[in-house]
């Protein structure tokens, strides 16, 4: 009897090994981006990894524009001339290559695994930037578009960031108002005009939502002209609280 009991841990270990081998046969490890075969799970192939560009660590702390190391963290000349309605700006990646492909796959086909992998890769940076006393406000989506898509990408991103950082998030405080054209269909100047009166605060959730908050962060997936983040931040001016803007990726002209 004792011999059988002694053998049980070995049998259990053997059983787990068999299950692991069967899992490898049925679901072989693959790159989270392109599905190329890998030697281990949860990874990224060398080709996709080479096409990921991290946003420069030396940048203006206000607007996020890359700066020479001797000038960082700024503020840069543009911010000194005209300070935006936020005091911090952070992005993890440049919107190109693998990151661009991952975001398009998420927005068009609902594939969130690549985006979650990118967030996990940037965990240390996220934890240094966001804190438990912060409140994350996703850029609101028009209700008609949210119903049509069945997904609010900025809200999902804010929720995942909160899980990593311990910050709170709330999609109800910052709301969309009026009717705007899709930003992707507009030129740079038209995007700024389109967003000028696009945002408002919902007083129903303000008092409770802001209790104990030290800093507000507006969260979006991609930053292009910056018009959306600028006017979203401007709508928070009356709260008299520090405001930052955070995006997973950002376009950059060399």
Taking only the tens place, the pLDDT of each residue in 159-188 is: 999 999 999 999 999 998 876 656 665 666
The predicted structure's pLDDT at residue 191: 76
List 88's β-bridge partners, or say none: 244
What spatial distance separates the first Cα and last Cα of the chain, rounded to whole Å?
74
Query: Quick check: is 118 in a domain?
Result: yes
Query: Quick check: is 159 in a domain?
Result: yes
Evaluate if residue 1 carries a pLDDT over 50: no
Rounded CA gap, 219 and 232, in Å? 10
Contacts of 121 (CB under 8 A, 6+ apart): none
List 243's β-bridge partners, or say none: 216
The predicted structure's pLDDT at residue 164: 98
**Same domain assignment for residues 130 and 39:** no
Buried b (16+ CB within 10 A) or exposed e, 94-124: bbebbbbebbebbeeeebbebbebbbebbee
The predicted structure's pLDDT at residue 18: 60
Rounded CA gap, 187 and 224, in Å? 11
Q: Which domain holds residue 37?
A: 13-43
Which CATH number belongs to the domain containing residue 65 in this structure?
Answer: 3.40.50
**Same domain assignment for residues 145 and 241:** yes
The predicted structure's pLDDT at residue 11: 46
How many CB atoms lie under 10 A from the CB of residue 170?
Answer: 20
What length does the chain have? 254
Mean pLDDT score across all residues of the chain: 87
**Predicted confidence (pLDDT) per residue in 87-100, tens digit:** 999 999 999 999 99
Evaluate if residue 13 carries a pLDDT over 70: no
The predicted structure's pLDDT at residue 89: 97
Query: Quick check: is 158 in a domain?
Result: yes
**Same domain assignment for residues 184 and 92:** yes
Give the count of domains, the chain.
2
**Same domain assignment for residues 33 and 154:** no
Question: Please, which pLDDT band fits residue 72 given cuts at 50, 70 and 90?
Answer: confident
- Tell me the pTM: 0.84
DSSP 102-168: HHHHHHHH---HHHHHHHHHTHHHHHHH--TTEEEEEPP--HHHHHHHS--HHHHHHHHHHHHH--E
Evaluate if residue 155 carries a pLDDT over 80: yes
Query: Quick check: is 96 in a domain?
Result: yes
Query: Quick check: is 1 in a domain?
Result: no
Query: Quick check: is 3 in a domain?
Result: no
The predicted structure's pLDDT at residue 71: 84
**Same domain assignment for residues 217 and 151:** yes
The predicted structure's pLDDT at residue 194: 77
Residue 229's H or E segment, with its range, is: helix 227-234
**Same domain assignment for residues 38 and 145:** no
**Same domain assignment for residues 148 and 210:** yes
CB 219 within 8 A of CB 158: yes
**Same domain assignment for residues 77 and 162:** yes
**Same domain assignment for residues 140 and 231:** yes
Evaluate if residue 10 carries a pLDDT over 80: no
**Same domain assignment for residues 64 and 86:** yes
The least confident of 38-47, 99-108, 237-246 is 38-47
Query: Quick check: is 71 in a domain?
Result: yes
Contacts of 98 (CB under 8 A, 6+ apart): 33, 44, 48, 49, 51, 52
The predicted structure's pLDDT at residue 254: 64
**Predicted confidence (pLDDT) per residue in 201-241, tens digit:** 998 888 788 989 999 999 999 999 999 999 999 999 999 99
**Higher-confidence residue: 52 or 12?**
52
């Amino acid at each position: 009897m004792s011999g059988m009991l002694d053998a049980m841990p070995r049998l259990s270990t053997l059983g787990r090994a068999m299950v692991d081998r069967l899992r490898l046969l049925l679901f072989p490890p693959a790159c989270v981006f392109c599905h190329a075969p890998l030697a281990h799970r949860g990874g990224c192939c060398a080709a996709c990894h080479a096409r990921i560009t991290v946003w420069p660590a030396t940048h203006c702390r206000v607007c996020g524009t890359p700066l020479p190391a001797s000038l960082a963290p700024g503020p840069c000349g543009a911010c000194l001339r005209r300070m935006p309605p936020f005091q911090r700006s952070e992005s993890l990646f440049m919107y190109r290559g693998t990151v661009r492909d991952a975001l398009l796959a998420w927005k068009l086909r609902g594939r969130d695994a690549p985006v979650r992998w990118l967030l996990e890769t940037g965990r240390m940076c996220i934890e240094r930037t966001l804190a438990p006393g912060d409140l994350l406000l996703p850029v609101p989506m028009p209700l008609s578009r949210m119903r049509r898509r069945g997904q609010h990408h900025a809200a999902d991103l804010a929720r995942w960031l909160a899980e990593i950082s311990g910050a709170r998030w709330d999609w109800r405080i910052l709301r969309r108002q009026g009717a705007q054209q899709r930003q992707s269909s507009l030129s740079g100047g038209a995007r700024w005009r389109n967003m000028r009166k696009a945002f408002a605060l919902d007083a129903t959730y303000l008092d409770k939502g802001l209790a104990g908050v030290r800093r507000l962060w507006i969260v979006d997936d991609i930053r292009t002209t910056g018009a959306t983040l600028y006017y979203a931040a401007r709508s928070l001016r009356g709260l008299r609280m520090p405001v930052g803007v955070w995006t997973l990726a950002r376009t950059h002209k060399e």
